């Protein structure tokens, strides 16, 4: 019995020592109890009214991006579309031409490029006369003759003052009252090569043609006449860049 009592006392003593050792370790390392250790930096507390930044979402591949259709410039191939864009400008131009008001016409001409004059359907950018907007009014009063091209058939030079050229190869009829008007469309067709849409393509320019089929029935339409006005959008507005006359040719 004495030996059993000694054994029990030894076991109790050992358990007590183990318990004391565990408490000592917890006191040395408070973090194990859920409390920060003395001297350790506490986690920052968000300011009142602020929210903590969310962790960035993991990167995922977007896959194939949706391709947007390429928008090409309008060709104004639709007469109605071209008409709606340029109709007001046309009225201003024909009014100025009918009144022979060069100051008014100059305001409609491209201030940088000026306006090119072609007596017949073929446009020759290397030979046709180009007049600056600022020079129109003075040129109208100038009595000096200018070579504007060659006469159809004879090949003789067309040497006229600007006022005379205007009367014969620009506004030789009241085109504002022409029975046929085409927008980016050729109406009158002569034997002369017509390269208008090569020089002034529809995707950048609007051409308006005023056309008379003829005046004397005895001539069977050989006295037809057309005036083509070419406009380009400079970004601010549509400006007149070319005046092309056309008629029956040999």
- The CATH number of the domain holding residue 136 is 3.10.450
Mean of the pLDDT values across residues 213-236? Answer: 94
The rounded distance, in Å, linking the Cα atoms of 67 and 235 is 28
Is 241 part of any domain?
yes
Model pLDDT, residue 235: 85
pLDDT in tens, 96-110: 999 999 999 999 999
The rounded distance, in Å, linking the Cα atoms of 213 and 211 is 6
Is 17 part of any domain?
no
Mean of the pLDDT values across residues 218-225? Answer: 95
Q: Which of 14-23, 91-100, 182-191 has the lowest mean pLDDT?
A: 14-23
> Is the Cβ–Cβ distance between 202 and 168 less than 8 Å?
no
> When comparing pLDDT for 234 and 145, which is higher?
145
pLDDT at 82 over 70: yes
Is 74 part of any domain?
no
Is 5 part of any domain?
no
pLDDT in tens, 115-147: 999 999 999 999 999 999 999 999 999 999 999
Mean of the pLDDT values across residues 47-67? Answer: 41
Of all residues in the chain, what percent carry a pLDDT higher than 90?
64
CA angle (80 as vertex; 74, 82 as ends), nearest 5: 45
Is 72 part of any domain?
no
Model pLDDT, residue 78: 83
Q: Which of 13-22, 94-103, 142-151 has the lowest mean pLDDT?
A: 13-22
Is 9 part of any domain?
no
Model pLDDT, residue 15: 55
Q: Is the pTM of this model over 0.85?
A: no
Mean pLDDT rounded to a whole number for the chain: 81
pLDDT at 36 over 90: no
Give the 3-state secondary structure of residue 244.
Answer: strand
Model pLDDT, residue 234: 87
Is 69 part of any domain?
no
Range of the domain at 200: 79-247
Is 185 part of any domain?
yes
* Strand 238-247 to 115-118 pairing: parallel
| Nearest alpha carbon to residue 244 among 102, 151, 122, 106 | 122
Model pLDDT, residue 18: 53
Model pLDDT, residue 8: 52
Model pLDDT, residue 250: 83
Assign 242 a pLDDT band (cuts: 50, 70, 90): very high
Q: Which of 40-54, 66-80, 206-220 has the lowest mean pLDDT?
A: 40-54
Distance of CA 17 to the CA centre of its chain: 90
Phi, psi of 97 (to 5 degrees): -70, -40
* Count of structural domains, the chain: 1
Percent helix / strand / coil, the chain, rounded to 5: 35, 20, 50
Assign 16 a pLDDT band (cuts: 50, 70, 90): low
């Amino acid at each position: 019995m004495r030996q059993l009592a000694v054994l029990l006392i030894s076991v109790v003593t050992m358990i007590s020592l183990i318990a004391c050792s565990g408490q000592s370790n917890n006191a040395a390392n408070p973090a194990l109890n859920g409390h920060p250790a003395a001297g350790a930096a506490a986690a920052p507390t968000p300011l009142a009214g602020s929210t903590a930044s969310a962790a960035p979402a993991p990167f995922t591949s977007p896959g194939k991006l949706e391709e947007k259709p390429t928008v090409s410039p309008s060709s104004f191939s639709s007469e109605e579309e071209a008409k709606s864009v340029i109709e007001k400008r046309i009225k201003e131009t024909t009014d100025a031409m009918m009144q022979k008001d060069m100051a008014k016409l100059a305001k409609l001409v491209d201030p940088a490029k000026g306006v090119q004059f072609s007596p017949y359907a073929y446009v020759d950018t290397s030979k046709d006369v180009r007049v600056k907007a600022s020079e129109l009014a003075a040129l109208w009063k100038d009595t000096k003759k200018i070579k504007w091209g060659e006469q159809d058939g004879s090949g003789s030079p067309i040497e006229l003052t600007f006022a005379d050229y205007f009367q014969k190869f620009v506004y030789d009829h009241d085109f504002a009252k022409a029975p046929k008007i085409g927008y980016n469309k050729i109406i009158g067709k002569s034997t002369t090569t017509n390269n208008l849409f090569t020089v002034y393509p529809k995707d950048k320019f609007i051409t308006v043609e005023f056309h008379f089929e003829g005046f004397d029935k005895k001539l069977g339409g050989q006295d037809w006449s057309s005036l083509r006005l070419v406009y380009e959008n400079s970004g601010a507005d549509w400006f007149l860049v070319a005046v092309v006359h056309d008629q029956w040719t040999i």
